[in-house]
Amino acid sequence: MAKRDYYEVLGVERGVTKADLKKAYRRLAMKYHPDRNPDDESAAEKFKEAKEAYEVIGDDQKRAAYDQFGHAGVDNSAAGPGGFGGAADINDIFGDVFGDIFGGGRGRGGPRVHRGDDLQYNLEISLEDAVAGVETKIKVPNLVACDACDGSGSKRGTTPSNCPTCHGAGQVRMNQGFFSVQQTCPACRGRGKVITDPCPRCRGQGRKQKEKTLSVKIPAGVDTGDKIRLSGEGEASENGGPAGDLYVAIHVKQHDIFERDGAQLLCTVPINFATATIGGELEVPTLDGRVKLKIPAGTQSEKTFRLRGKGVKPVRGGPTGDLMCKVRVETPINLSSQQKELLMEFHDSIGGDNAAKHSPQAHNWLGGVKRFFDSIRS
């Protein structure tokens, strides 16, 4: 049987962050773990499926291969028959899932190194910049490693000492029925070290608040909802691990003239009824400059004209879209007495027997109304 999409298995979107991915996996693991469902084979299968999915898309390298090639791009043979790597793997799962409930995660023979948190920055840009691409600078308040103690949290010239509770391991072991479960040491929070002489600048935290100025390259064709990842620009780790990532979420401002619909640009062009009647040529704007738009005689309101290649080149590839110009015939206002007289003369000249020729839609509609009332009388 074909494998399900790993993102579908975990119930997440493809752009999910690691933090949200872990939450989704933990929720499924707690729900379907065989120890909680001893007589339910379907729960065991779902647990195995969720574990396999998380092992792939929870790893940056495997995730990249999976995103590009699907199941063919990853190799799960190392998991062994049934998707489990033996009793050690089961204990690891307990550490990941239930260990977090007690305040930490698992580790293998040493303190756990925590990755810094991911951050999101909401960036508003103009439609012009979204279509053409732009490089801009942003200021991000962030937690960075303290330069006074190099992120150790300990006063310069001193070093943290081994935690007396876990003896530097970062974890303590406790028995849970048939299982021996590792959990993060509550005394040192998994660091394996305790600070006896804290850094006065960061007060032992190893991190401090700082505003960073970053340069962000916005690729051409982005749209609202797109995110740009700046690797390693998130929050610093609490205990010397890698920093998290910064995700720049794009929001495109509303434009005065154009509306975007995917690769297409839409705009409404008002024209007077004389131009709509006898035709003419208008100058309309595009994001590349001005172009001439020919209006044929007899153009009706809401008629849409297509200007090919004047839309948006999608950021993920594909042909450039078009600019769709919808004309709207504008009724003249504030007429002088002379203009009203001329308009009445014009109205009389196209009315009567000439109505069907000059105003076929109105003529057909009035004919339909007359037939409707005649049917009611009869």
Of 64, 85, 106, which residue constitutes the final position of a domain?
85
Q: Which of these ranges, 119-123, 158-162, 178-182, has the smallest mean pLDDT?
A: 178-182
Examine the domain organization and report whether 313 and 355 are in the same domain.
Answer: no
For residue 26, give the CATH number of its domain: 1.10.287.110
User: For position 65, what pLDDT does the model report?
Assistant: 81
Examine the domain organization and report whether 81 and 178 are in the same domain.
Answer: no
The answer to whether position 66 is within a domain reads yes
Per the structure, the complete domain to which residue 77 belongs is given by 6-85
Of 220, 235, 252, which residue constitutes the final position of a domain?
252
pLDDT, one tens digit per residue, over 34-84 is 777 877 888 888 888 988 889 888 888 888 888 877 777 775 443 333 333
The answer to whether position 112 is within a domain reads no
Examine the domain organization and report whether 132 and 248 are in the same domain.
Answer: yes
| 241, 254 Cβ separation under 8 angstroms | no
pLDDT, one tens digit per residue, over 194-224 is 888 888 888 777 777 788 899 999 999 999 9
The answer to whether position 107 is within a domain reads no
The answer to whether position 78 is within a domain reads yes
Residue 250 neighbours by CB under 8 Å, 6+ apart: 123, 125, 130, 218, 222, 223, 224, 225, 226, 227, 228
Q: Which of the 8 DSSP states describes residue 313? A: -
pLDDT, one tens digit per residue, over 276-333 is 999 999 999 999 899 999 999 999 999 999 999 999 999 988 999 999 999 999 998 9
Residue positions counted in the chain: 378
The answer to whether position 203 is within a domain reads yes
The conformational region for residue 40 under phi > 0 = left, psi -120 to 50 = alpha, else beta, is beta
Examine the domain organization and report whether 284 and 241 are in the same domain.
Answer: no
Distance CA 295, CA 328 (A): 12
Examine the domain organization and report whether 200 and 243 are in the same domain.
Answer: yes
Examine the domain organization and report whether 138 and 221 are in the same domain.
Answer: yes
Look-up of token digits 């909401």: 122
pTM over 0.75: no
Of 221, 252, 283, which residue constitutes the final position of a domain?
252
| 75, 62 Cβ separation under 8 angstroms | no
If you average pLDDT over residues 23-31, what whole number do you get?
A: 87
Examine the domain organization and report whether 163 and 236 are in the same domain.
Answer: yes
Examine the domain organization and report whether 264 and 242 are in the same domain.
Answer: no
Distance CA 154, CA 36 (A): 43
The conformational region for residue 374 under phi > 0 = left, psi -120 to 50 = alpha, else beta, is alpha
pLDDT at 135 over 50: yes
The answer to whether position 261 is within a domain reads yes
For residue 274, give the CATH number of its domain: 2.60.260.20
The answer to whether position 105 is within a domain reads no
Three-state SS for 54? Answer: helix
The pairing of strands 119-125 and 246-252 is: parallel
CB atoms within 10 A of CB 137: 8
Examine the domain organization and report whether 350 and 245 are in the same domain.
Answer: no
Examine the domain organization and report whether 157 and 225 are in the same domain.
Answer: yes
**Chain-wide mean pLDDT for the chain?**
81
If you average pLDDT over residues 144-171, what whole number do you get?
A: 81
Examine the domain organization and report whether 349 and 239 are in the same domain.
Answer: no
For residue 237, give the CATH number of its domain: 2.10.230.10
The answer to whether position 102 is within a domain reads no
Examine the domain organization and report whether 356 and 340 are in the same domain.
Answer: yes
The tally of domains found in the chain comes to: 4
